[in-house]
Amino acid sequence: MAFGFCNVLPFSSFLDENENGLRWSCMASHRVGPVGETGLSDSGPSNPHVPYSVFHGSNVPTSFINQEGSAFDFRELEEAIVLQGVKIRNDEAKAPLFTGRPAATLEMFPSWPMRFQTTPRVGSSKSGGESTDSGSAVNTFSSKAEVQLESESPISNKASSSDHQAFDHQKHLQLQQQQIQQEMANDRSRAGPSQNQSDVKAPQEKRKGSGGSSSTSEKQLDAKTLRRLAQNREAARKSRLRKKAYVQQLESSRMKLTHIEQDLQRARAQGLFLGGCGGAGGNLSSGAAIFDMEYARWLEDDHRLMAELRTGLHAHLSDGDLRLIVEGYISHYDEIFRLKGVAAKSDVFHVITGLWMTPAERCFLWIGGFRPSDLIKMLIGQLEPLTEQQLVGIYRLQQSTQQAEEALSQGQEQLQQSLIETIAAAGPVIDGMQQMVVALGKLSNLEGFVRQADNLRQQTLHQLRHVLTIRQAARCFLVIGEYYGRLRALSSLWASRPRESLMSEDHNSCQTTATDHLQIVHQSAHNHFSTF
Partner 1 sequence: MHYQAAEYSWGYYMPVRSIGPDPLERVVRLASESAVVIFSVSSCCMCHAVKRLFCGMGVNPTVYELDQDPRGKEIERALVRLLGNSPGSVPVVFIGGKLIGAMDRVMASHINGTLVPLLKEAGALWL
Can you give the binding site for partner 1, defined by CB under 8 A? 393, 396-397, 400-401, 403-404, 406-408, 410-412, 414-415, 418, 445, 448-449, 451-452, 455-456, 459-460, 462-463, 466
Report the candidate in 359, 389, 364 with the shortest Cα–Cα distance to residue 377: 364
Alpha-carbon dihedral sign for residues 408, 412, 417, 419: positive
Shortest Å distance, C-beta 280 to partner 1: 16
Shortest Å distance, C-beta 355 to partner 1: 23
Shortest Å distance, C-beta 464 to partner 1: 10
Longest dimension (CA), the chain: 112
Contacts for 234-237 with beta carbons within 8 Å, 24 or more apart?
234/43, 234/76, 234/79, 234/83, 234/130, 234/134, 235/43, 235/75, 235/79, 237/126, 237/127, 237/130
Q: Which is nearer to partner 1, 272 or 443 (CB)?
A: 443
CA–CA dist 158, 154 (Å, integer): 6
Shortest Å distance, C-beta 316 to partner 1: 30
| CB 450, CB 354: distance < 8 Å | no
Q: Which is nearer to partner 1, 98 or 449 (CB)?
A: 449
Shortest Å distance, C-beta 337 to partner 1: 12
CA–CA dist 84, 89 (Å, integer): 8
CA dihedral 280, 282, 286, 287 (to 10 degrees): 20
CA–CA dist 156, 167 (Å, integer): 9
Q: Which is nearer to partner 1, 316 or 466 (CB)?
A: 466
Q: Which is nearer to partner 1, 96 or 411 (CB)?
A: 411
Helices (H), 50-153: 60-67, 74-91, 102-106, 128-135
Q: Which is nearer to partner 1, 77 or 408 (CB)?
A: 408
Chain centroid to Cα 348, Å, comes to: 32
Contacts with 387 (C-beta within 8 Å, 6 or more apart), sequence order: none
Shortest Å distance, C-beta 277 to partner 1: 16
CA–CA dist 75, 98 (Å, integer): 22
Q: Which is nearer to partner 1, 136 or 422 (CB)?
A: 422
Shortest Å distance, C-beta 455 to partner 1: 5
Q: Which is nearer to partner 1, 257 or 392 (CB)?
A: 392
Q: Which is nearer to partner 1, 353 or 414 (CB)?
A: 414
Q: Which is nearer to partner 1, 171 or 451 (CB)?
A: 451
Contacts with 458 (C-beta within 8 Å, 6 or more apart), sequence order: 333, 334, 337
Shortest Å distance, C-beta 484 to partner 1: 20
Shortest Å distance, C-beta 400 to partner 1: 5
Shortest Å distance, C-beta 449 to partner 1: 7
CA–CA dist 96, 99 (Å, integer): 7
Q: Which is nearer to partner 1, 147 or 404 (CB)?
A: 404
Contacts with 496 (C-beta within 8 Å, 6 or more apart), sequence order: none
Shortest Å distance, C-beta 409 to partner 1: 8
CA–CA dist 149, 527 (Å, integer): 79
For residue 120, how many other CB atoms are within 10 A of its CB? 33
Phi then psi dihedrals of residue 118, to 5 deg? -70, 150
Whether the ω angle into residue 385 lies within 30 degrees of 0, i.e. cis, is: yes
Q: Which is nearer to partner 1, 310 or 451 (CB)?
A: 451
Q: Which is nearer to partner 1, 108 or 450 (CB)?
A: 450
* Region of residue 118 (left: phi > 0; alpha: psi -120 to 50; beta: else): beta
Shortest Å distance, C-beta 370 to partner 1: 15
Q: Which is nearer to partner 1, 137 or 344 (CB)?
A: 344
Alpha-carbon dihedral sign for residues 375, 380, 384, 390: positive
CA–CA dist 479, 458 (Å, integer): 17
Q: At what angle do helices 445-467 and 388-424 cross, to 10 degrees?
A: 180
Shortest Å distance, C-beta 281 to partner 1: 20
